[in-house]
Amino acid sequence: MKAIKSVLLTCDSAVKQILLTMNEKQSFIIEDLDDFHVVIKADEEWRVRRDLEAELEKNTYSLE
């Protein structure tokens, strides 16, 4: 078995559902541990965080 560099992400269940949806388009999740933890590929961390931030921004209400 080959070792893979990875990052443990801790999030709430709503964010985890967004991550699972994003993973369908481009696979980056190595292991889905439980309702609050996901292990992702280390080299994908920056892209995942950026894309997640953009997705969360779409769902944010603004008074402007």
Residue 7, classed as helix, strand or coil, is strand
60 has a pLDDT exceeding 90 = no
User: How many CB atoms sit inside 10 A of residue 39's CB?
Assistant: 16
Domain ranges of the chain: 6-61
CATH number of 6-61: 3.30.70.1220
Q: What are 3-56's pLDDT values in tens digits?
A: 889 999 999 999 999 999 999 999 999 999 999 999 999 999 999 999 999 999
**The predicted structure's pLDDT at residue 62:** 72
Q: What is the structure's pLDDT at 1?
A: 76
